[in-house]
Amino acid sequence: MVGESRWVSTAETVECYWGFNVSELKGSCECGEVTYLVKGPLRPTIACHCTQCRKTSGHYWAATQVPSKHLKLVKDGGLKWFRSSARARRGFCVGCGSSLFWQMDGEGTTSIGSGTLDDLPVGEASVDKHIYVADKGTYYNLSDGLPLFDGW
Ligand SMILES: [Zn+2]
Ligand SMILES: [Zn+2]
């Protein structure tokens, strides 16, 4: 099983994490060509309203984050990376279009679309703020009472 797994590669290195245990969560794209395991703790989810996130997701993108070494790709046949800016890339599934990951070069972390996680316990990785609100779409309002930031 381990031998069939792939590891998330950051900009230059491939990190391996061998300590997965019962605290791991599963996630996947919609069609199942990308599946992964992630080890907590998960950062609170941040909802990003920047133009890139809106174009990528079709609305706005909400993601948690972990050290990349805590993310294990179990099946990555559909995973493709798109360089979305000079310093970041986005991972999506070519089979179904799911927007799964975001990585900033050299940070060693991976943002994971919270909606791609399965069986996320209630209260885990809850949304705690909205960022790049200055770039948000004109067709919706934010009224959940969470902090709003024009930038990061
Ligand atoms: Zn897919
Ligand atoms: Zn964004």
Listed in sequence order, the residues at least 6 apart from 121 whose beta carbon sits closer than 8 Å to its beta carbon are none
At 50 the pLDDT is: 96
Name the domain count of the chain.
Answer: 1
Q: Does residue 142 fall inside a structural domain? A: no
- Residues 102-130 have a mean pLDDT of 95
- CA of 33 from ligand 1 middle (Å) equals 5
Q: What is the CATH number of the domain that holds 90?
A: 2.170.150.70
User: Is 2 part of any domain?
Assistant: no
* 17 occurs within a structural domain: yes
What's the 116 CA to ligand 1 centre distance in angstroms?
A: 10
Structural domain boundaries enclosing 25: 13-135
Considering the domain boundaries, does residue 80 fall inside one? yes
Q: How far is the CA of 1 from the centre of ligand 2 (A)?
A: 35
Mean pLDDT of the chain: 87
Tell me, yes or no, whether 145 lies in a domain. Answer: no
- State in Å: Cα 134 to ligand 1 middle: 31
CB–CB of 48/60 below 8 Å?
A: yes
The DSSP letter of residue 151 is -
pLDDT tier, 103 (very low <50, low <70, confident <90, very high otherwise): very high
Q: Is the pLDDT score of 111 beyond 70?
A: yes
**Cβ-contact 49, 56 below 8 angstroms:** no
Q: Is residue 126 part of a domain?
A: yes
